[in-house]
Structure formats: structure tokens, C-alpha cells
Structure 1
């Protein structure tokens, strides 16, 4: 992902006088994540359905159940975040990773200003896009979630399984969430975000 093309748009989204210190294109890490906020919680599945849902998830991945998905994520990817429903990590995940009824792909951007941590979402992105498509996606970029920098206790980039570029952001309520970039992309923007959050 070309990081520089988003800087001007992020600059348009911040408050007057607010300065962008670092930004990175990223995605929430794969694995077990905090539950969604209470207002977006899915209905619980009975305990007897757990074994059958796990087996069905493995046999037919297009048919999913929440508990089966969570177990497959835990085994395949590990833990990508912790926190109670309604925690900072839960609200962030709910803002960025909601169900997408339109089926459109969107990029996630982290931005650190002198005041806040911003999580932005682009407009719909096409796999084989034209210049007009990219410009429209950029123009539709919006802030999906924001928190004062004081709400972040730490941020660090490190190894997780085979990926050496995973950013973990910890919040004052004890919750945390991880962000990654593909192996082939540079981890420098993630390290810049971590440094801006902790510096």
C-alpha cells in the first residue's frame, strides 16, 4: 500500500491545529480478538453446538458459526487482542471490523497526531482499480474511531509467529489490539506509529 497518498487526506480529517506525527496502512491482526461492543453483540450459541460448528467450519469454511470461527482463529493465528465487550479494544475492533453487508474491501489506516490516535477506513477498494477508483476510495476515507493519546499506555512492534511486523497497542483499561501488515510490506510505518504513540 502506498503510504504517502493518504497523508494529505488524513491531514484534511484532523482538527484545526492538530498535527499528524505518523501514519500506517494496516489491518487488525488475524486471530482471536476482543468481543464486539455490547450494542453490536451477536446472539450466543448453545454449548452443544460448539463441536459441530467447529467441524463444520473446518469442512465448509463458507458456512460459519461464531464459536467455531473463534476456535479456528485461536489455533491458526493465536491471540490478536484482549478486552471485555465495551473496552477500548472492543470499540476499536467494532468500528473497523464490522460486518460488511456490501461485501466491499476497505483499507485501515492508523494515524497518530499530537493529540489522538485515529483509526481511519478508506472507501471501497477494487482489486484491479483504475485511477478514478483509487481517487474515489481516497476521497471517501473517514475517521472510524479515535482516542486521546493518554488512553494508550504502550505500543510496540515485534514478532508474532512468522510475522515480525505486528503492532500491539495497549490501552489504559487493560485491553489491547494487534495490527499487522503483509510480510512483503515494510514494517517501518508501524514502527513510526509505535514511536509516535510512546514518544
Structure 2
């Protein structure tokens, strides 16, 4: 779906009189995430001891999974995608984007900076070979998954991370942070516009 088709929908999701300064379609960066919120951490099964064999199985077969092994593989392959204590702003944001019981549907993630808030919006389910009606339905089902007042955003910048020159890192006033990326083939201009709007 064309990114410009989201402009009007984002305008409908914000409060009256809340101008959208910039927006970008992005993905949550791959890598080790912030710690989950306390209520989510309690819901997860406690991690037991993990052997080297378990980590190797995580690499060989993605269907065989252990939480600790997944985090180690993410760290080695992608690096760190966010930091924050359980319940921090980054922790809550990451948890909002990664439900413990995902429906396996592909959805677009949209970052929007307004004069009041940082919003993270999620589209309705997307289809690989979609028709115009499918795209319009996904657009109509878009909603705000998470938001935070601008006062809680300490800084935002787009910089190189490993081989990707277009990674947006958003730092929050509680010391936590989370990163977002776009595919290397796509323009980083919308991410830079969001970073400038949040830092300005």
C-alpha cells in the first residue's frame, strides 16, 4: 500500500486540533528488545537452564524455540533493538507491537509525530496479493496501538546500525529507547522527518 494513503487516516486518528508534523511507515528493529512489562513477564513461563544445543536448534529450525536462545540469536544476528527496565516506556511500546499471542497477520506500522504526542499506529491485516478493496479495508481498520506525550521523548535520530543507514532510535526521558527501521531499498526521508519533528 502506498504510504501517502495513510495520511488522511492518521489525520482521523489524532485529536481535533492536533496537527500531524511527520509520519513514516516503519518496522520495529530486529534484535534484543527491552525487558517486557511486569504483567507480561509474569504471564510468560519461567526460563529454565538452556544448553548450547538449544541455541543451535534455534538457529537451525525457527520452529524450535526457547526464549533465552531466541534472545541470544537476535543479539548475535541483529544487535540491540531497544533497552529499558520492565514497565519503561520502551518496554510498553515494544509489548504493544508484539502481542504474546500474535494472529500471524502482516500489518503496517506507522509512526506519527504530532505537536503533542508520538503515536504508533497499526494497520488492519494486509494480504500479499491484495486488491484495492483489501487495501481500503486494511486502511479503515488502522488504529493507534500506543502513544506517549512528546514530553516523554528525550531525543530521536536516524543513524547507521551495522549495514543499515536508516535506523531511527527514539530515546525516552526514563532512559529507555527503541529502534525502528525501513528496508534498505526504501527511502529514509520519512524516518528522518519523524526524528526532526520529535527533536524539534
> How many correspondences in the alignment?
198
In 2, Cα distance between equivalents of 1:87 and 1:20: 25
In 2, Cα distance between equivalents of 1:12 and 1:114: 15
Partner of 1:111 in structure 2? 112
CA RMSD of aligned residues (A): 1.1
In 1, Cα distance between equivalents of 2:84 and 2:3: 29
TM-score (norm 2): 0.96
Q: Does 1:22 align with 2:11?
A: no
Partner of 2:10 in structure 1? 10
Partner of 1:45 in structure 2? 47
> CA deviation digits over 1:54-75, x for unaligned, max 9?
1210121211111010000000
**Gapped runs of 5+ residues in structure 2?**
none
Runs of 4+ in 1 over 3 A off after TM superposition: none
Shift in Å at residue 100 of structure 1?
4.6
Q: Give SS of 2:198's match.
A: helix
Map of 1:3-152 to 2, 5 A cutoff?
Answer: 3-41=3-41, 42-47=44-49, 49-152=50-153
Map of 1:154-169 to 2, 5 A cutoff?
Answer: 154-169=155-170
In 2, Cα distance between equivalents of 1:196 and 1:50: 46
Q: Is the 8 A contact 1:168 1:177 kept in 2?
A: yes
TM-score (norm 1): 0.96
Shift in Å at residue 96 of structure 1?
1.0
Q: Give SS of 1:145's match.
A: strand
Distance change (3 Å), C-alpha of 1:17 and 1:50: farther
In 2, Cα distance between equivalents of 1:104 and 1:68: 24
Shift in Å at residue 50 of structure 1?
4.3
